[in-house]
Structure 1
Amino acid sequence: MKNVDYIIVGDGYAGLFFAHQLIKNNKSFVIFSEGKKSASQVSAGIINPVVLKKFTTFWKAQEQIDFLKISLKEIENYTGKNYLIEAPIHRIFHDENEQRLWLKKSENDELINFLDKNFDHLNVLKNDFQTGKVNQSARLNVNGFFSGLFDFLENRGDLIKEKFYYSELDTENSTYKDFTFKNILFCEGMAVKENPFFSDIPVIPNKGHHIKVKLSKQIPQNITIKKKHFLFPVNDELYFYGGTYDREQLHHNIDDSAVEQLKKGLEEFYPYDFEIDHVNFGFRPTVKDRRPIIGRHSKHQNLYVFNGLGARGILNGCYFSKNLYDFIEENIPLPKEISIERFK
C-alpha cells in the first residue's frame, strides 16, 4: 500500500489549484484524471474582475486577481512556464448610454481600479461607440496550463490516469485500491451527480459552446474583445469565440442553435468573412448564489468537496483552494458564503 496525505478526484481548476497548495506545503498526494476533457479544459481562460453585462464587480474580485497572479508565479517556479497572457479585455459599447454608464461606474470605489476611463477605437472591427478597457484583466493559457501541470505531476508520479471507482473506496479504513490516505477531495464538476457521498449538493449544469474560427482579415493580437461573447487568438490561424450559456439543452451533443447564436454574435462586430473550424462545449457546474460549494462530509470526516466554480473557474479555483487547505490542515473555518453548510 502507498500512503498519501491526499487523494484528489478530478482534474479541472479546482483539483489542480488545490494540488498547488499541497505542493507548496510538501504534502503527498495523487490526483485521479479520467482523461476526459473537463469544462475547465475547454474553457476560454478569461481572467476578468468585471461583470461586463452590468459593469459591476463581484465578491473578493481584487483579492482573487492578486492571489491568482501570485499563484501563477509560484507554479512557474516548478513548471518553468508562465501561463498568464497579458491581453486585457476591450468591451465594445453598444451605444452612448453604455459609454456614460461605464464612466459613471468607473468612479465607484469597487470599480475604479478596473474600468479604464480612456476609450479606444479598434481597427478592422465594427465599434462605432468605441471600447472600454478592463484593467487587470488577462487570460490563462489554458492548454499550456493543463498540459504543463499534467506533465509535471506525471513526472513526479502523482498523476493517476484512470477513472475513480466509488465502490472501491473504503471509508472506514481510509483506503482506495493500493492507497491509504488521510483525506480525499472530490473536485469533479458535474460528475459529482454520480458521487454517492456528495450527489445532493445543489450544482446546476450550464452548457457552454464555443467555436474556433479562421478570420479572413486579422484583428489586434494583444487584446481580448468582448461584445456578446469573447474573441481572441488561439494561434496564428485560429481564434476562439464564445461561450454561450444554456441551462435547458443539456444533452451531450452540439446545439445548432448555439452555433447560430455565436455566428450572429461574431457577425455583429466582425464585418468580414470567417470560417468555423470546429465547435466544442462543456458543462459548467453553477450554483444559484454564484459561490462555490466547499466543505466536509457530514458523516465521513476526511471526505471533502470542492465544486460549483461556475464561469469564474480560474479565480474561484485558485483563491478558494487556500481557504479549503486552511480549513483541513489548520481547522480555520470556511467563510460561510462558500461553505457547504449554508445549504443545511
Structure 2
Amino acid sequence: MENVDYIIVGDGYASLFFAHQLIKNNKSFVVFSEEKKGASRVSAGIINPVVLKKFTTFWKAQEQIDFLKQTLNEIEKYTGKNYLIDAPIHRIFHDENEQQLWLKKASSEELVNFLDRNFTHLNGVKNDFNSGKVNQSARLDVNGFFTGLFEYFKKREHFINKKFVYSDLNPSDHTYQNFTYKHILFCEGIGVKKNPFFSDISVVPNKGHHIKVKLKHALTDDITIKKKHFLFPIDEDMYFYGGTYDREQLHDEIDTSAVEQLTNGLREFYFNDFTIEEVNFGFRPTVKDRRPIIGRHSQYQDMYVFNGLGARGILNGCYFSKSLYDHIENNIPLHEEISLQRFHTK
C-alpha cells in the first residue's frame, strides 16, 4: 500500500489550486483524473473583478485578484512559467447611458480601483460609444496552466490517469485500492452528481459554449473585448469568442442555438468575415447563492468537497483553496457563506 496525505478526485481549477497548497506545504498527494476536457479546461480564463452587465463587483473581489497574482508567482517557481496574460478587458458601450453609468460607478468606493475613467476607441470593431477598460483584469493561459501543472504532477508521480471508482473507496479504513490516505477531497464539478457521498449538494449545471474563429482581418490590439461575450486572440490568426449560459439544454452535445447566438453576437461588432474553426462546451457547476460549496462530509470526518465555483472558477478556486487547506490542517472554521453547512442549517 502507498501512503499519501491526500487523494484529490477531479482535475479542474479547484483540484489544481488545492494541489498547489499541498505543494507549498510539502504534503504528499495524488490526483485522479481522466484528463477529459471539463468546464475548467475549455473556459476562457477571464480574470475579471467586475460584473460587466450591471457594472458592479462581487464579494472579496480585490482579495481574490491579489491572491491569484501571488499564487501564480508561486506556481511559476516550480513550473518555470507564469500563466497570467496581461490583456485587460475593454467593455464596449451600447449607448451614452452606459457611459454615464460607468462613470458614476467608477466614482464609488467599491469600484474606483476597477473601472477606468478614460474611455478608449478600439480599432477594427464597431464601438461608436467607445469602451471602458477594467483595471486589474487579465486572462489565464488556460492550456498552458493545465499542461504545465499536469506535467509537473506526472514527473513527481502525483498523477493517476484513471477513473475514480467509488465502490473501491473504504472511508472508514482510509483506503482506496492500493492507497492509504489521511484526507480525501472531491473536486468534480458537475460530476459530483454521480458521487454517492456528495450527490445531494446543491450544484446546478450551467452549459456554456464558445467558438474558435479565424478573422479575415486580425485585430491590432492584444486585449480582451467584451460586448455580449468575450473576444480575444489565441494565436496569430485564431480567436476565442464566448461563452454562453444555459440551464435548460443540458444534453451532452453542441447546441446549434448557442452557436447561432455566438455568431450573431460577434457580427454585431465585427463587420468583416470570419470562419468558425471549432466549437466547445462545458458544464459550469453553479450554486443558487453564487458561493462555492466547501466542507466536510457529515459522517466521514476526513472526506471533503470543493465545488460550485461557477463562472469565476479561477478566482474562486484559487482563493478558497487556502481556506479549505487551513480548515483541514489548522482547524480554522470556514466562512459561513462558503461552508457546506449553510445548507444544513437553513
TM-score bracket, normalised by the shorter chain, equals: over 0.9
Structure-2 separation of matches of 1:221 and 1:87: 9
Listed one character per residue, the Cα deviations across residues 272-298 of structure 1 (whole Å, up to 9, x for unaligned) are 000000100000000000000000000
Structure-2 separation of matches of 1:302 and 1:124: 55
What is the SS of the residue equivalent to 1:41? coil
Task: Tell me which residue corresponds to 1:117.
Answer: 117
Structure-2 separation of matches of 1:123 and 1:303: 52
Listed one character per residue, the Cα deviations across residues 238-292 of structure 1 (whole Å, up to 9, x for unaligned) are 1000000000000001000000000000000001000000100000000000000
Structure-1 separation of matches of 2:129 and 2:217: 21
Task: Tell me which residue corresponds to 1:280.
Answer: 280
Task: Tell me which residue corresponds to 1:164.
Answer: 164
User: TM-score, normalising length from structure 2?
Assistant: 0.99
Asked if the contact 1:221–1:232 (Cα under 8 Å) also holds between the matched residues in 2, the reply is no
Asked if the contact 1:221–1:233 (Cα under 8 Å) also holds between the matched residues in 2, the reply is no
Structure 2 unmatched ranges of 5 or more: none
Task: Tell me which residue corresponds to 2:181.
Answer: 181
Task: Tell me which residue corresponds to 1:308.
Answer: 308
Listed one character per residue, the Cα deviations across residues 118-155 of structure 1 (whole Å, up to 9, x for unaligned) are 00001110000000000000000000000000000000
Q: CA deviation at 1:208?
A: 0.1
Structure-1 separation of matches of 2:220 and 2:295: 43
User: Within 5 Å, which residues of 2 pair with 1:1-344?
Assistant: 1-344=1-344
Letter in 2 for 1:6: Y
Asked if the contact 1:119–1:131 (Cα under 8 Å) also holds between the matched residues in 2, the reply is yes
Off by >2 Å, runs of 4+ in structure 1: none
User: TM-score, normalising length from structure 1?
Assistant: 1.00
Q: CA deviation at 1:222?
A: 1.8
Aligned length: 344
Asked if the contact 1:207–1:245 (Cα under 8 Å) also holds between the matched residues in 2, the reply is yes
Structure-2 separation of matches of 1:35 and 1:263: 29
Structure-1 separation of matches of 2:217 and 2:60: 39
Q: CA deviation at 1:38?
A: 1.2
Asked if the contact 2:123–2:221 (Cα under 8 Å) also holds between the matched residues in 1, the reply is no
Structure-1 separation of matches of 2:222 and 2:58: 26
Structure-2 separation of matches of 1:74 and 1:18: 13
Structure-2 separation of matches of 1:243 and 1:220: 22
How well do the aligned residues superpose, as a CA RMSD in angstroms?
A: 0.5
What is the SS of the residue equivalent to 2:228? coil
Asked if the contact 1:7–1:29 (Cα under 8 Å) also holds between the matched residues in 2, the reply is yes
Letter in 2 for 1:167: S
Letter in 2 for 1:52: L
Structure-2 separation of matches of 1:138 and 1:175: 41
Structure 1 unmatched ranges of 5 or more: none
Letter in 1 for 2:149: L
Q: CA deviation at 1:34?
A: 1.2
Asked if the contact 1:39–1:282 (Cα under 8 Å) also holds between the matched residues in 2, the reply is yes
Letter in 2 for 1:163: K
Structure-2 separation of matches of 1:222 and 1:17: 27
Q: CA deviation at 1:221?
A: 3.9
What is the SS of the residue equivalent to 1:11? coil
Listed one character per residue, the Cα deviations across residues 77-132 of structure 1 (whole Å, up to 9, x for unaligned) are 00001100000000000000000000000011110000000000011100000000
Q: CA deviation at 1:74?
A: 0.1
Listed one character per residue, the Cα deviations across residues 144-179 of structure 1 (whole Å, up to 9, x for unaligned) are 000000000000000000000000001111000010
